Structures are given as C-alpha cells and as structure tokens.
Chains A and B, each alone.
Chain A
Amino acid sequence: MKWAAVLGITFIFVCMALFEWPKLGRGSKKEKIIFLSLSVIGWFLGSMLVFFPNPPGPTELMDGIFKPLGKLLEK
C-alpha cells in the first residue's frame, strides 16, 4: 500500500513534467535544472512522509526556538 502511495506521488510528478517540459524547451538550461531539483526535493520529502508519518518537522523546530516567548501566551 505504501509503495502504491509512492507510485501515486511519482505519477503526479510525471504529469507535472509532461505539462511543463514542452514549455521549458524554449527556456534556458538553468530553468530545467531548477525544475528538476525542486521536483526531486518534493518527491523525496513526499515519499519520506509516506514511510515515516509525522517525523519532527519545521513546526517543531520553530516551536523549540520560540518556546521561551511562547510561554507568555500559555494558559
């Protein structure tokens, strides 16, 4: 089932690439590289969350940093 989710994520990216690639053809190489690297980051994060749901994320990090101030509003 989890592999199916990863397959679904991959499918979304294939659709995105099919939609975007013809338009990128005219553009420079830089745009293609950035499109691909952002997609790879997204695919990687998405697949990671399929296998490890709810790892500590950015929210926990910021919660840790701003905790001393946040205590003011604790009630």
Chain B
Amino acid sequence: MIEKGKISAFQLALMMNPTIFATALLLVPAITAKHAEQDLWLSPIWAAISGLLTVYISCKLNKFYPEKSLIQYSEQILGKIAGKILGLIFLLYFLHLNGIIVREYGEFVVGTFLNTTPMNVVMGSMLLVCALAVYGGIEAIGRSSQIIVPVVSLLFLVMTLLLVKDLDPKKLLPVMENGIMPSFMGSIVPSAWFSEFILMAFVLPLLKDSGKAMKWGVLSVLSVMFLLVITNLSTYMLLGKLTIKDTYPVMVAVRYISIADFLEHLEAIVMAIWVSGTFIKISMFYYSTVLGMAQWLSLSDYRPIVLPIGFLILVLGHWAAPNLQSLAHFLGTSGAFYMLTLQLGIPVVLLCIAWIQQKFQQKKDGGQ
C-alpha cells in the first residue's frame, strides 16, 4: 500500500460533502434555473439519484476488490493493456477536471474580490496550500475537513436564515407548470456534480471501518442534496427569474442581506466559506490524481510527484478556457455529459464486467 494513513467512514462523508457542494454552489444554480425555472428546487433531488448510484457502484467495486483503488482494479478487470489505457484516461480526466475546478475558483475570487490580482497567483497559492495537505496524506485532509466542514455548513445555514425575511414563496408557483420534464433537464448538470462521488473509489481502501462506507456515503449524498435544495429555494424565492441572468446567484443573494442596517456586506463570510470548501475539494481531487498516478506507475511513494502534478494542474487551469463565459457554457452543456460519462458511465461498465467475471469464477469453482 502506498498510503499508510487510515480514516474513518465519517471523515470520508465529511470530505465528500464540500467536494460536491463547494463549486455546485456557484455556477450550478444559474444553469439549473435556466432549464427548470421555478422548479429548480426539485432538480437536486433528481440529481441525487446519480450520486446514490455512484456511491453504490464504488462500494460494490470495493467489495469485489478490497484494498484496491479505481486505477488498480480497472487493470484487473480489463486486463493489463486495456486497464492501463483506461487508467491513463481516468488520470488525464482528473487532471483536466481539477484544472477546471481551480480555474472556477480563480475566476470567482478574481471576479468578485481581488480584481487586480493576476489569476495565476490566486490559483497558484491555493494549489500550494493543497499540495501541503496532499503531502500530509489522507489523514491530514480528513482531519482538516473535520474542522472545516461543520463550521462551513453552520455558517451557510445562518446565511440562509438571515435571508428568510426577504423571501417570497409565491415566486415558486406554479409548481410543475410544464410537467416534470423541465426540472429533470435542469438536473443533468447537478447530477454531473453528484457523480464526483466516484472519488470514493480512491479513498475506500483506506477506511478503518469499510462496513459503514455505504451508510455514510448515502448520508453524504443526502446532506449535499439538502444544502443544494436550500440554496436553490432561497435564491429563487429572493431573485425570481433574475437567477438565470447572474453568473453567481448565491453571491448576489448574500449581498442582499441587510438586517437593521447593521448586518451588511456578509459576502466576505461567503467567500471564507467558499474558499475553505474549495480547499477540501481541490485537495480531494489532487490527492486522488496523485495517488492514482503513483499506483498507475507502481511507485513506492506518492510524495515525489505531488509538486510536479500541482504545476500541471495550474497549467491546465490556465488552459481550461479563454474566459469565464466559455467555461460556464462548457460546464452547462457538453461538460456535464463529459463528467457523467467518465464518472458514472465507465464505472457502471466496469462493475458489470467485474460482476460477470465473478459469476464465471464461481461457476468454475463450483464445477470442479
């Protein structure tokens, strides 16, 4: 085993929560609202189905091949050469996706707060912090998420409570005006985000109590779903159809908070929430890429490649898109299918093949 640290299933659930939620908070409400309009609060509920499916697949595959990660068992399922190629595809995919995530982070920070700071500095400093976390191993990420996630979730709920007096529930009517279809179309992009739960396939072999993995994974999906429903509800009840026009509707909603002319300009808190959530998210992706790469190359330690891969992520983040508009457009259209294919489609195929192989093996053993 390359990684010697162990975490608990509860820590895994805490780590996975911001891994989905941190960036789903930003661009996704606007994209969902474009398709689902006033039914946007239903979309995360449909999308959670893909999250549950991904958790089920990764737990099932882990049962077939305990002690092995996605990269390792794809080699065992498909054979040496095809498995290596699939592993490389996964690694390049996670590198690219991590680049996109870092770019989303950079665009958000530069666009709303640090207007004159060069983007590469913002992205590079975040990656440096994440590189230190990855260097510390899975235990460091697990413990930092134990500290960060409860605080972040609590602050987020407080933010929503402060908005309550300005909310207008009538904006949500009529419910399901055009049937179920619009909310379903709006759920495609969030379900691409939910399928990021496939990162569990890298971490499951490192669990102390892998029996509880399924339970905590499901709870993690449900917590993300709950937070997303709350976000979408409060944003739409406040902004109505304007949700579609803004790139970051949640940010606009929080800027709106004003209580007794005293509690104002709370966007700095949202920023703090968001930066710490993204720290966990980027670290998780970074860690999975580095660990997967070390397993793919069968190294004895993953630490030597942490820094060079960090630089590659920075370059890919710079390269991901020419500007925010084209990035948002990519994520809202073909990007969703790109993510769903690699994070849900291919693992489903892998599980089917593994299942058939297992059946054959049993028959062979039974016959002898």
Residues of A within 8 A of B (CB): 12-13, 16, 19-20, 23-24, 27-28, 30-31, 34-35, 38-39, 41-42, 45-46, 49, 54-55, 57-59, 62-63, 65-67, 69-75
Contacts and interface: CB of A to CB of B under 8 A. Distances in A.
A25 to B, nearest CB: 11
B337 A69 contact: yes
B308 A16 contact: yes
B301 A27 contact: yes
Among B303, B308, B314, the one with the most A-chain Cβ atoms within 10 Å of its Cβ is: B308
B308 A59 contact: no
Interface in B141-190: 185, 188-189
Given A71-B333, A73-B336, A34 B311 contact: no
Nearest to B185: A73
> Does more than half of chain B's interface fall in helix, strand or loop, or is it mixed?
helix
B96 A27 contact: no
Contacts of A73: 35, 185, 188-189, 332-333, 336
B305 A63 contact: no
Contact of B307 (A20, A49, A57, A63): A20
B242 interface: no
17 contacts: A13-B311, A16-B308, A27-B304, A31-B304, A38-B305, A41-B308, A42-B315, A54-B322, A57-B320, A59-B96, A59-B321, A59-B330, A63-B330, A70-B334, A70-B335, A70-B337, A75-B34
A28 B185 CA distance: 52
Contacts of B96: 58-59, 62
Contact of A23 (B300, B303, B334, B341): B303
A43 to B, nearest CB: 8
A30 B320 CA distance: 31
A31 B334 contact: no
A71 B336 CA distance: 11
A65 to B, nearest CB: 8
Interface of B: 34-35, 92, 96, 99-100, 185, 188-189, 297, 299-301, 303-305, 307-309, 311-312, 314-316, 318-322, 327, 330, 332-338, 341
B187 to A, nearest CB: 11
Contact of B334 (A28, A35, A63): A63
A39 B304 CA distance: 11
A66 to B, nearest CB: 4
A30 B297 CA distance: 9
A30 B318 CA distance: 29
Nearest to A28: B300
A70 B338 CA distance: 9
Contact of B308 (A39, A49, A75): A39
Among B34, B92, B311, B321, the one with the most A-chain Cβ atoms within 10 Å of its Cβ is: B311
A35 B307 CA distance: 9
Contact of A46 (B297, B305, B311, B337): B311
A30 B22 CA distance: 37
B338 A66 contact: yes
Complex A-B, nearest 4 residue pairs according to Cβ-Cβ distance, in ascending order: A70-B334, A38-B308, A70-B333, A66-B334
Contacts of B189: 73
B319 A42 contact: no
Nearest to B312: A42
B50 to A, nearest CB: 15
A42 B335 contact: no
